[in-house]
Amino acid sequence: MKNPAIEIKKWLIARLAAYAYIDVYDGMFPQNVEVDNEYIVLTSRTANQGEGKGCFQSEVSITIDIVTRSNSFGYKRAEIIAESVMAGVNSDTDVILPTGWDCKNVVLESINNLEDLDPFDNTFRVILRYTFVITQTI
């Protein structure tokens, strides 16, 4: 059994770049690099595994953190990016994984809006939590 979260992460990075048109980072954005005022960070990943006849089945949950900073207040831009992400990753999406892997289901578990603790920072975030049901042939 291999870690299915790794394969989903690879697929998501490519998919998000194609639909959201902004930089996507794994875990955190680099502190020493000039970053745009809009970016996505793939954060917490969890997976549980069960074994069936001829395959392993896992539920993999991944959080997509959409971050926007601007001179104006409000979630509008972050929500526009979130809608682009949701258009590219939904229950109708064909998740392409390596041979031996198959994604049976994609579920958007939650959508949360967060604002930065400093009200003058003008950072607005939309957090999307997805769950993918993955099978891996034994």
2 pLDDT exceeds 70?
yes
User: What is the rounded CA–CA span in Å between residue 97 and residue 14?
Assistant: 12
| pLDDT tens digits along 111-137 | 999 876 666 678 889 999 999 999 988
Confidence of residue 104 (pLDDT cuts 50, 70, 90): confident
pLDDT digits (tens, 9 = 90+) for 78-103: 999 999 999 999 999 999 998 888 99
Read off the CATH number of the domain in which 100 is found: 3.30.2000.30
- 134 near 102, Cβ under 8 Å? yes
Q: Around 72, how many Cα atoms within 13 Å sit in the side-chain half-sphere? A: 5
Give the rounded percent of residues in the chain with a pLDDT score beyond 70: 91
Q: Is the pLDDT of residue 73 over 80?
A: no
Range of the domain at 104: 4-137
Chain position carrying tokens 């998000």: 16
Q: How many domains does the chain have?
A: 1
Single-letter residue type at 102: D
